[in-house]
Amino acid sequence: MSYPKECVLKDCEEAAIRPLEEGDESLLTQFFETIPEDDRWCMRYDTTRPSVIKRWFENLASDNVFAIVAVCNNAIVGHGSLHTRGFGATKHVGRFRVIVLPEFRNKRLGTWILLDLIQAAMDKGLEALRADLIVGMEDAAIEAVRKFDFFKRAELKNYAVDPQGERHDMVVMVKRLHKGWSDF
Ligand SMILES: CC(C)(COP(=O)(O)OP(=O)(O)OC[C@H]1O[C@@H](n2cnc3c(N)ncnc32)[C@H](O)[C@@H]1OP(=O)(O)O)[C@@H](O)C(=O)NCCC(=O)NCCS
């Protein structure tokens, strides 16, 4: 893929998608500071901790993580990452996360980022993509991935807790990948 990639959003505003790069640390920190707690809660790490962001930048060259950001007016407004194992029984499966700044939601930015992560997964020769999403907390994402032919492969009842301690179901959404878009 060639970067930066200009993408036009629903309101005709433009954002540029490009890989996360050295020097983005403070922009990424500012981005996560403006993401609501409920959304950050669904992530695997506390992105308000400087040590978490620092570790991401130390791992920038890792073959197992591909991270992209969407930039608008010199600010990061969206982030996406594809995670692979590189070894073992699930090395053919990628996992991903996408997160968009609240004021940039519903403008197709999440779709642009997801498209790039799917393309990156296909380029890596992966056979499937998986996202574990929490019902009642990540419903927008569940709808968004359904549009890209992700199917519910499993449901874990009352598996997740929200910041208030309420239980939620978690769904395992999986998409089979093809070698190229023309194979769909
Ligand atoms: C999920 C998320 C990334 C979507 O980003 P976005 O830029 O708003 O997504 P898009 O505008 O491209 O919308 C794509 C589709 O998602 C669905 N969608 C988006 N927001 C929705 C909402 N609030 N409720 C229901 N469906 C919604 C729609 O089907 C939409 O397609 P449409 O515009 O053709 O109707 C964003 O809501 C977000 O950052 N949420 C918090 C973090 C999160 O849950 N991440 C998921 C981890 S993978």
pLDDT at 182: 67
Is residue 81 scored above 80 in pLDDT? yes
Mean pLDDT of 130-141: 97
CATH 3.40.630.30 corresponds to the domain 5-183: yes
CA distance 165 to 130: 26
* Number of CB atoms found within 10 A of residue 50's CB: 10
> Is residue 94 within 8 Å of residue 84, measured between CB atoms?
yes
pLDDT tens-place string over residues 141-163: 999 999 999 999 999 999 999 99
pLDDT at 184: 56
Between the CA of 106 and the centroid of ligand 1 the distance, in Å, is 6
Burial pattern 96-129, b for ≥16 Cβ within 10 A else e, equals bbbbbbeebeebbbbbbbbbbbbebbbeeebebb
Mean pLDDT of 76-85: 96
pLDDT tens-place string over residues 33-52: 999 999 999 998 999 999 99
pLDDT at 183: 59
* Number of CB atoms found within 10 A of residue 24's CB: 21
Mutate to test the pocket of ligand 1, among 10, 42, 81, 98 (most ligand atoms within 8 A of CB): 98
Q: How confident is the model at residue 57 (pLDDT cuts 50, 70, 90)?
A: very high
Is residue 10 scored above 70 in pLDDT? yes
Pocket of ligand 1 (CB under 6 A): 39, 42, 97-100, 105-111, 131, 138-141, 143-144, 147
Distance of CA 9 to the CA centre of its chain: 18
Please tell me the pTM assigned to this model.
0.94
Residue spans per domain, the chain: 5-183
User: How many CA atoms are closer than 13 Å to the CA of 140, on its beta-carbon side?
Assistant: 14
3-state SS, residue 19: strand
Mean pLDDT of the chain: 94
> Is residue 169 within 8 Å of residue 123, measured between CB atoms?
no
Q: What percent of the chain has pLDDT over 90?
A: 90
